[in-house]
A and B are shown apart, each in its own frame.
Chain A
């Protein structure tokens, strides 16, 4: 490892899809700015992995670490602790690290339910009823894989986090803006936001960025997008009965999905000040329902086919609920 006096930068992926890495790559020339201003010491997808080199560094010697992916297994957790120790600023990068993302929906199931779905599937040939073993003795010797945890956790449920950069994945222009800010801080031209701040995103909701018209129209029914004969391309999707997550979701993406005729699914996480995303969304949905009769309101809300997924699609692991009963019971 060379030492060139520049501040050190790291990026790591835990349980993730790789989309965060691609989003960083898609910032194009900003990568060169990172290279010019930082010494990249650890970034497995882009360069040599050096667990041991990271371990050998003095604590706090990495200025900035962007950590994406949830904490799904033992290895993810060990690296989270290691990078927390070595980093001055640790950023939960992307939906998985911030709030669990889609893989967090695994917290509605027990480990055995997950293993059963995977290893006893219709195509699985598993007469011995195998489940993954942390430690296996083969004829030639012992081999290991990391332990699978009962629930997926967000980064801040495992270590202390300094900032949150949401999105699935974070939009490249938002990442670029954050890189610019950090470089300005390094040059003394700006100061860091308060610890715990959400960076690289807006301060309101997706609705504020959405060009669709809102007429404060109310609805008598929720409808599923593929069942609707014709959708008005100019009108608010929620007012057309499509369960759109815009009203509870933080802006920052530029309302990409509603612009493309699809409902917001909530990938930027809870809007500013929202403690419970699901509760906020339920109240937003309730407010467009054209009824004062509690029974009818309930009936209309029942038309949402998957409440757990609708209200906690991206943030179950990071929400007040965190997990369902089968996962907790183990």
Chain B
């Protein structure tokens, strides 16, 4: 049987590998997407004091340490059964909104945007953030850099550091913010709302105004009808920091909502011997393999799934965009994975509006930012929405708060099965009867991947440009018959 290895998937170098097997007729028999890395946090956090988890689990991911910092702090609250004061929760959510704003913006402009703004057929040399700057204007480059700086600044003000924040502890935070800092954050948030609206307008003009792009978004190749997952508040509105996890089926019907403490009733993770990463699925539905449909427990957890799983957005401008999104794309739920990029921009707007809401909250500068736990620590689960998916931290401790068991279901991991399916579908659509489509095929596979903003090695998405792919096609004896390259001079 012929084997095509996409190895390395650069920018996931050392962190991802795709093998495509062809049958005797030259059609795709199967694909394997392997994650070649493991560090083992679930084991070596055992024995550590639970209050250190916000610091230790930061180091799972240097791109989204804020997500682990928050999930860990909330799980530690739960272990001690302590309810932090409102100011503490608001400060944490404010930090988190600043992080979301930066992270999503970077993804859109540096990685996803080029395919749409420049077009998937544009010359490789133009399909990057520099291409966007040339097309839209130099000013945009400065704005993207500004957006990055502002988000990091908010993280630094509340979290004490730009990378790997250090201030969340069980019961709250080690520090509050001053009126000066509050004012600075509010100003950045107001700028952020304008920038988010500008970005949505850009998407509207360039993408939605172009029938070719709209057809590409709505086309079958990037469509998967799976369950959608996302955290919602008590009014079923999208929330990144707290709430219950909503799950809707491929028809848009809500299967249910679960509290963090109920997650083991809902989620199971399939173990395969050929990869270091597990495949989460909905336990209530069951694992039926890498397939779509209402009987398959495969779900996805991305900006698109969060919009599908919620009833609305919690801020007015984002809500307007939410309504427009579903009107334009033919109602809920949306299964076309390329629409994720649009959903991501709607979340950028929500994050910016939320920054201003929280920064203007009268309680935000209160010195009442922590509560000392009084209960004996036992067990706790917490969930936040990481930009790349629902993030669950589950801890058990002894009576001193020393960890005895740790379970983590990390953002991108949720999407391991759907990403594998998207890769397979793209390969099947593009490789037929031994006929190989060259460069467009590689970018099309890449686009299937990129919608999920995967972060397997934890930093896959941060720098401008494309994901180079190299595909080696081998005959039955393992001899290379053809080598295709893209972005690999």
Residues of A at under 8 Å CB distance from B?
1-2, 13-23, 25-26, 28, 44-51, 72-73, 75-76, 79, 101-103, 105-106, 108-109, 113-114, 116-119, 121-126, 128, 130-133, 136, 138-141, 143, 145-146, 148, 168-169, 172, 224-229, 231, 233, 256-257, 259-262, 265, 267, 305-306, 308-309
Whether B254 is near chain A, meaning CB under 8 Å from some CB there, is no
Residues of B at under 8 Å CB distance from A?
1, 3, 8, 10-11, 13-14, 17, 19, 21, 29-30, 32, 34-49, 51-52, 55-56, 58-63, 65, 76, 80, 145, 152, 159-164, 166-167, 169-171, 173-175, 263-264, 267-276, 278, 280, 287, 370, 372-373, 394, 400-402, 405-407, 409, 457-460, 462-463, 465, 468, 487-489
Most buried by A among B34, B163, B269: B163
Given the complex, which residues of A lie within 8 Å of B269, measured CB to CB? Answer: 121, 123-125
Known: A105-B45, A124-B271; 4 extra A-B contacts, CB below 8 A, are A44-B13, A133-B274, A145-B17, A260-B160
Residue on A nearest B152 in the bound complex, by CB = A26
Given the complex, which residues of B lie within 8 Å of A22, measured CB to CB? Answer: 62-63, 163, 459, 462
The answer to whether A168 and B59 touch across the interface, beta carbons within 8 angstroms, is yes
The answer to whether B40 and A114 touch across the interface, beta carbons within 8 angstroms, is yes
Tell me, rounded to whole Å, the shortest Cβ–Cβ distance linking B48 to chain A. 5
Tell me, rounded to whole Å, the shortest Cβ–Cβ distance linking B412 to chain A. 12
A106 touching B44 in the complex, CB below 8 Å, given contacts A26-B152, A125-B271, A305-B402: yes
Q: What would be 18 A-B contacts, judged by CB atoms less than 8 Å apart?
A: A21-B459, A45-B11, A48-B10, A48-B489, A49-B10, A49-B488, A103-B59, A109-B43, A114-B38, A117-B43, A118-B43, A119-B271, A122-B394, A122-B405, A169-B163, A226-B170, A260-B160, A309-B47
Query: Which of B14, B34, B60 has a CB less than 8 Å from the CB of A79?
Result: B14
The answer to whether B44 and A105 touch across the interface, beta carbons within 8 angstroms, is yes
Residue on A nearest B272 in the bound complex, by CB = A130
The answer to whether A117 and B21 touch across the interface, beta carbons within 8 angstroms, is no
Given the complex, which residues of B lie within 8 Å of A116, measured CB to CB? Answer: 43
Query: Which of A14, A48, A226 has a CB less than 8 Å from the CB of B488?
Result: A48
Tell me, rounded to whole Å, the shortest Cβ–Cβ distance linking A148 to chain B. 6
Residue on A nearest B43 in the bound complex, by CB = A117
Query: Which of B47, B164, B170 has a CB less than 8 Å from the CB of A308?
Result: B47
Residue on A nearest B54 in the bound complex, by CB = A262
The answer to whether A114 and B43 touch across the interface, beta carbons within 8 angstroms, is yes
Most buried by A among B39, B44, B460, B468: B39
Given the complex, which residues of B lie within 8 Å of A28, measured CB to CB? Answer: 145
The answer to whether A19 and B38 touch across the interface, beta carbons within 8 angstroms, is no
For the residues of B in contact with A, the DSSP-based class is loop
The answer to whether A75 and B14 touch across the interface, beta carbons within 8 angstroms, is yes
Tell me, rounded to whole Å, the shortest Cβ–Cβ distance linking B162 to chain A. 7
The answer to whether B174 and A225 touch across the interface, beta carbons within 8 angstroms, is yes
Given the complex, which residues of B lie within 8 Å of A18, measured CB to CB? Answer: 61-63, 457-459, 462
Alpha-carbon gap, A75 to B45, bound state (A): 25
Alpha-carbon gap, A29 to B370, bound state (A): 39
Given the complex, which residues of B lie within 8 Å of A113, measured CB to CB? Answer: 43
The answer to whether A122 and B264 touch across the interface, beta carbons within 8 angstroms, is yes
The answer to whether A123 and B267 touch across the interface, beta carbons within 8 angstroms, is yes
The answer to whether A19 and B174 touch across the interface, beta carbons within 8 angstroms, is no
A50 touching B488 in the complex, CB below 8 Å, given contacts A122-B394, A124-B271: yes
Alpha-carbon gap, A202 to B489, bound state (A): 41
Given the complex, which residues of A lie within 8 Å of B401, measured CB to CB? Answer: 224, 305
The answer to whether B273 and A256 touch across the interface, beta carbons within 8 angstroms, is no
The answer to whether A45 and B8 touch across the interface, beta carbons within 8 angstroms, is no
The answer to whether A130 and B271 touch across the interface, beta carbons within 8 angstroms, is yes
The answer to whether A306 and B48 touch across the interface, beta carbons within 8 angstroms, is yes
Alpha-carbon gap, A145 to B272, bound state (A): 12
Alpha-carbon gap, A225 to B268, bound state (A): 35
Given the complex, which residues of A lie within 8 Å of B80, measured CB to CB? Answer: 226
Tell me, rounded to whole Å, the shortest Cβ–Cβ distance linking B389 to chain A. 15
The answer to whether B274 and A168 touch across the interface, beta carbons within 8 angstroms, is no
The answer to whether A226 and B167 touch across the interface, beta carbons within 8 angstroms, is no
Query: Which of A106, A131, A256, A308 has a CB less than 8 Å from the CB of B43?
Result: A106
The answer to whether B407 and A72 touch across the interface, beta carbons within 8 angstroms, is no
Residue on A nearest B82 in the bound complex, by CB = A226
The answer to whether A118 and B32 touch across the interface, beta carbons within 8 angstroms, is no
Given the complex, which residues of A lie within 8 Å of B3, measured CB to CB? Answer: 140-141
Tell me, rounded to whole Å, the shortest Cβ–Cβ distance linking B85 to chain A. 14
Most buried by B among A103, A109, A172: A103
The answer to whether B42 and A25 touch across the interface, beta carbons within 8 angstroms, is no
Most buried by A among B35, B160, B401: B160
Query: Which of A124, A136, A226, A233 has a CB less than 8 Å from the CB of B372?
Result: A226
Alpha-carbon gap, A227 to B3, bound state (A): 58
Given the complex, which residues of A lie within 8 Å of B275, measured CB to CB? Answer: 132, 145
Given the complex, which residues of B lie within 8 Å of A146, measured CB to CB? Answer: 36-37
The answer to whether B11 and A44 touch across the interface, beta carbons within 8 angstroms, is yes
The answer to whether B40 and A106 touch across the interface, beta carbons within 8 angstroms, is yes
Residue on B nearest A129 in the bound complex, by CB = B271
Given the complex, which residues of B lie within 8 Å of A114, measured CB to CB? Answer: 38, 40, 42-44
Residue on B nearest A75 in the bound complex, by CB = B14
The answer to whether B49 and A305 touch across the interface, beta carbons within 8 angstroms, is yes
Alpha-carbon gap, A4 to B269, bound state (A): 50
Given the complex, which residues of B lie within 8 Å of A139, measured CB to CB? Answer: 30
The answer to whether A103 and B34 touch across the interface, beta carbons within 8 angstroms, is no
Alpha-carbon gap, A23 to B269, bound state (A): 33
Given the complex, which residues of B lie within 8 Å of A256, measured CB to CB? Answer: 160-161, 166
Tell me, rounded to whole Å, the shortest Cβ–Cβ distance linking A167 to chain B. 10
Alpha-carbon gap, A256 to B163, bound state (A): 11
Nearest 6 pairs between A and B by C-beta? A19-B62, A18-B459, A260-B160, A261-B174, A44-B13, A140-B21
Tell me, rounded to whole Å, the shortest Cβ–Cβ distance linking A188 to chain B. 32
The answer to whether B44 and A19 touch across the interface, beta carbons within 8 angstroms, is no
The answer to whether A49 and B273 touch across the interface, beta carbons within 8 angstroms, is no
The answer to whether A228 and B55 touch across the interface, beta carbons within 8 angstroms, is no
Alpha-carbon gap, A306 to B275, bound state (A): 33
Residue on B nearest A31 in the bound complex, by CB = B463
Query: Which of B59, B163, B468 has a CB less than 8 Å from the CB of A23?
Result: B163
Alpha-carbon gap, A16 to B175, bound state (A): 29
Alpha-carbon gap, A259 to B165, bound state (A): 12
Given the complex, which residues of B lie within 8 Å of A109, measured CB to CB? Answer: 40, 43-44
Query: Which of B145, B159, B405, B468 has a CB less than 8 Å from the CB of A48?
Result: B468
A121 touching B407 in the complex, CB below 8 Å, given contacts A133-B274, A169-B163, A256-B160: yes
The answer to whether B489 and A1 touch across the interface, beta carbons within 8 angstroms, is yes
Query: Which of A26, A51, A309 has a CB less than 8 Å from the CB of B52?
Result: A309
Most buried by B among A20, A44, A46, A51: A44
Tell me, rounded to whole Å, the shortest Cβ–Cβ distance linking A36 to chain B. 16
The answer to whether B1 and A19 touch across the interface, beta carbons within 8 angstroms, is no
A227 touching B372 in the complex, CB below 8 Å, given contacts A102-B59, A131-B273: yes
Alpha-carbon gap, A26 to B276, bound state (A): 31
Given the complex, which residues of B lie within 8 Å of A168, measured CB to CB? Answer: 59, 164
The answer to whether A102 and B56 touch across the interface, beta carbons within 8 angstroms, is yes
The answer to whether A123 and B30 touch across the interface, beta carbons within 8 angstroms, is no
The answer to whether B65 and A226 touch across the interface, beta carbons within 8 angstroms, is no
The answer to whether A51 and B36 touch across the interface, beta carbons within 8 angstroms, is no
